[in-house]
Amino acid sequence: MELRHLRYFVAVADEKNFTRAAQRLHIAQPPLSRQIQQLEEELEVELIEKGTRPVKLTEAGAFFHVHAQELLAKVAELKSMTRRVGKIERSLSIGFVASTLYGLLPRIIREYREQHPEVDVALHEMTTMQQIQALKDGVIDVGFGRVKSEDPNIRRIVLRDERLVIALPASHPRAASSDPMSLLDLQSETLLVYPKTPRPSFADLVLSVLSERAIVPHKIIEVRELQIAIGLVAAGHGMAVVPESVQGMRRDDVVYRPLTDRQAVSPVMFSVRKLDQSEELQDMLAAIYAIYDASGISYIRETL
């Protein structure tokens, strides 16, 4: 049994579909199916129930999936840490969701670079869920995301809970008032949520906030990304619920109103591989807390 067998099986189990798994692995579907068959023959047990759509794991398959994920995560971590030890230069690869660029992340990265010029910093825009996979694959070393999820191989620190606000067209009757709005105001409106894929995402966080309060908007439109949502708000196509740090976008034709519900928040999370306690990550976390302190932002301090 080789590592590629584990990667192939985990991809199929995650995607619950051979075609999508093959696309994720950048291989053709027939070779993927043969590799899974070889793995089952070597283990002398069925891992996937035959003829099921979507793919359904057997009891043995579910057991193998959990432990295969752990092994692959440890391999990625070993690979990343060994590279750091073996290199004279230091590096840090960062994944981030687009909305964090409107908050303190640019300042955090700028000041980290100024304080640690010896570290080569690389940036990758990706969704929170893509960050989780990229961490396990060793593609990135840290992720800044917004969607809560559980993975035994990933350590997640909630840096802060950012309040949500409503973005509405400047031409909307409510735009003339500076008063806070209620989530109930969305019941008669078209709500724009993002991103459309992959899920779960920030769209699901917003819909969950509304569902918990039994609020159903008149119409829901899913769009690909934040910029499209705000652009459509500006065009008068609906409203959007966004993090308060986004309020600088299109101030000429989009108005932002705070919410009366102070519990409507979006977490900003710092994600790393579970056992990774490298100097680069420690320094990054220290830079974050220093900037939060200087900005007077309330947060819960945690260490790696």
Q: Where in the chain is the domain with CATH 1.10.10.10?
A: 3-79
Please state, in angstroms and rounded to a whole number, the distance separating the CA atoms of residues 244 and 157. 20
What's phi and psi for 221, nearest 5 deg?
-120, 125
Please state, in angstroms and rounded to a whole number, the distance separating the CA atoms of residues 49 and 55. 7
Q: Which CATH number fits domain 88-159+266-295: 3.20.20.150, 3.40.190.10, 3.40.80.10, 3.50.50.60?
A: 3.40.190.10
Q: pLDDT at position 87, please? A: 61
Please state, in angstroms and rounded to a whole number, the distance separating the CA atoms of residues 130 and 116. 27
Please state, in angstroms and rounded to a whole number, the distance separating the CA atoms of residues 293 and 274. 26
Please state, in angstroms and rounded to a whole number, the distance separating the CA atoms of residues 38 and 43. 9
Is the Cβ–Cβ distance between 272 and 141 less than 8 Å? yes
Q: Provide the angle, in degrees to the nearest 10, between the axes of the packed helices 29-43 and 3-15.
A: 110
Q: What is the DSSP letter of 251?
A: T
Q: pLDDT at position 33, please? A: 93
Give the mean pLDDT per block of 10 residues along the chain (304 residues).
91 93 92 93 93 90 92 80 64 93 94 94 93 89 91 90 96 94 96 90 94 95 95 97 94 95 94 88 94 88 85
3-79: CATH number = 1.10.10.10
Please state, in angstroms and rounded to a whole number, the distance separating the CA atoms of residues 110 and 284. 11
Q: pLDDT at position 94, please? A: 97
Please state, in angstroms and rounded to a whole number, the distance separating the CA atoms of residues 302 and 158. 9
Cβ atoms within 10 Å of 49's Cβ, excluding its own: 11
Q: What is the pTM of this model?
A: 0.72
Question: 51: phi > 0 → left, psi -120 to 50 → alpha, else beta; which?
Answer: left
Please state, in angstroms and rounded to a whole number, the distance separating the CA atoms of residues 142 and 140. 6
Q: Where in the chain is the domain with CATH 3.40.190.10?
A: 88-159+266-295, 161-265
161-265: CATH number = 3.40.190.10
